[in-house]
Structure 1
């Protein structure tokens, strides 16, 4: 279900996007690496064994998304992984400025809408395709001081299930993957800020967060890539949300 297909991954220059791109390439897909930083995308391409293409795009900008769609008209993109996202501010809601709130929704929700709007029509016309949107367990349980982020991820869940109902009859599958805390630069930033707020070490902040999960650990980036590949092999999976949180939602 993956070999020989072309997958477009947003936010592919680092973190989860890079891990997803590597996993898809290893599974036999041709990968289009999309994101704002071309140098970072090239670094990802250097890690892939299979064919890949770099496409610069700002997912929150309609003109940029339209331009990249035109530039890829020669590609038969049948897998769209909307991974691009920003963490947003870490502070109480009453201290968050409107432009900070809007900046999170611009990428995490508007960007997903714009990419789907641009790349779904050919899938619908062909009668097949897969869209996987990256949400988060944070959209389903409280995460103090992160209201823009958690609200945006809950919006992703609503967007995905409704979109799936719209395009499912045309043969296009839409699902969400909701990782829990994934080890990497973004979580390291969160642990640093939490440690500063509470006056504890970063290690203690990490352990306190990981302790919320039943497995008492963080998720690794390559596990997220493997989950995307597994979801694409599950042909009956549609309008579904998969938790990959080491049991955080269950606790």
Structure 2
């Protein structure tokens, strides 16, 4: 675990009470990080800048954004659905990075990790809005990662699916026999990735051991998107 030593690192985690937030808080705190956990959805345009300002110095930003995934057929997608999903998942991302990057560039160090989704890596029925938003996140991270790498800032993403979390796979879904059959059918691993497994990868990507990764997307989905 020495290579995952995050002692003294100040970590800003957004939407900390949903999705992977609890697992990330637990693992990062256990590794010595000081976690500044904000729980608010970042729909208000000025909120990301205020959160970063209130957090003080940020060594690591975990851009952790979640929203309930709509299940509309593509021809049924409304303007309101599209706008809501993009307001929660896409628009906050550049606002966060515009707020956090200047200080990182000035001191020539910093890490940004997006906790994203594998949904855009493989076609899924009734997931066009969600997949489009998650895909926009990954494209943005790839571009920014390449741009800021000369400043010794590493920007990367985890693209996950079939990871145990209360937002997308609550207990009632996991207990459903149809879902259990789906796991066996679609996921080579045959089970959900645990929250701790996912959070440990996040910790590695935010540690000095991962200084070599630039704008990369790491699928965590038990082989579903292999």
Segments of 5+ residues of structure 1 without an aligned counterpart are: 37-57, 193-200
Report the equivalent of 1:121. Answer: 102
Report the equivalent of 1:55. Answer: none
User: 1:88 offset after TM fit, Å?
Assistant: 2.8
8 Å Cα contact 1:191/1:205 also seen in 2: no
User: 1:174 offset after TM fit, Å?
Assistant: 0.4
User: 1:8 offset after TM fit, Å?
Assistant: 0.5
User: 1:191 offset after TM fit, Å?
Assistant: 7.7
TM-score by length of 2: 0.90
8 Å Cα contact 1:81/1:134 also seen in 2: yes
Taking the aligned partners of 2:52 and 2:213, their CA distance within structure 1 comes to 27
Taking the aligned partners of 1:97 and 1:206, their CA distance within structure 2 comes to 31
**In angstroms, what is the RMSD of aligned CA positions?**
2.0
Report the equivalent of 1:231. Answer: 205
Describe the superposition over 1:23-62 as per-residue Cα deviations: whole angstroms up to 9, x where unpaired. 11111110010122xxxxxxxxxxxxxxxxxxxxx42222
User: 1:17 offset after TM fit, Å?
Assistant: 1.3
User: 1:146 offset after TM fit, Å?
Assistant: 1.1
8 Å Cα contact 1:19/1:222 also seen in 2: yes
Match of 1:164 among 124, 145, 152: 145
Report the equivalent of 2:24. Answer: 20
Query: How many residues matched?
Result: 220
- 1:108 aligns to 2:89 (yes or no): yes
8 Å Cα contact 1:178/1:244 also seen in 2: yes
Describe the superposition over 1:100-152 as per-residue Cα deviations: whole angstroms up to 9, x where unpaired. 11111111111111111111111111100000012211110011111111111
- 1:241 aligns to 2:201 (yes or no): no
Structure showing greater relative contact order (alpha-carbon pairs closer than 8 Å, 6 or more residues apart): 2
Segments of 5+ residues of structure 2 without an aligned counterpart are: none
8 Å Cα contact 1:81/1:133 also seen in 2: yes
TM-score by length of 1: 0.81
